[in-house]
């Protein structure tokens, strides 16, 4: 985000990444998913106003917990404020797209 010419000059009060996914086979996908989240956290850190938030909506069961999102956030200069449960009712129109064509 910090390199996009339309976004690089703009600051946000909150950025959300809902269930980050790549369209690859499982072994390769797991590595790419981790890289995707790390890259998002690093680039988004530079686009936030001071004391604002990044929300990553993410599964916490195996294998997703092995992504170590909290550690990636710390590596990007961020820290966890709190964890909350995902409620579909907070996202009108939400559909799980896993396995569907992109």
Q: Give 38-79 pLDDT, tens digit per residue.
A: 888 888 877 777 778 888 888 788 777 888 889 999 998 888
Whole-number percent of the chain with pLDDT over 90:
3
Taking each continuous run of H as one helix and of E as one strand, the counts in the chain are 2, 2
**C-alpha span between 90 and 73 (Å, rounded):** 24
| pTM attached to this predicted model | 0.65
**C-alpha span between 74 and 78 (Å, rounded):** 5
**76 φ, ψ (degrees, to nearest 5):** -90, 5
- Give me the residue label for tokens 């590596």: 75
pLDDT confidence band for 102 (50 / 70 / 90): very low
Secondary structure letter of residue 15 according to DSSP: E
**C-alpha span between 42 and 49 (Å, rounded):** 14
């Amino acid at each position: 985000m910090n390199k996009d010419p339309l976004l690089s000059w703009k600051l946000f009060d909150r950025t959300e990444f809902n269930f980050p996914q790549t369209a690859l086979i499982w072994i390769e996908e797991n590595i790419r998913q981790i890289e995707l989240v790390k890259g998002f956290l690093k680039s988004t850190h530079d686009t936030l106003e001071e004391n604002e938030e990044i929300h990553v909506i993410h599964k916490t069961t195996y294998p997703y917990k092995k992504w170590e999102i909290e550690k990636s956030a710390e590596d990007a200069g961020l820290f966890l404020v709190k964890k909350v449960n995902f409620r579909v009712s907070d996202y009108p129109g939400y559909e799980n797209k896993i396995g569907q064509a992109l």
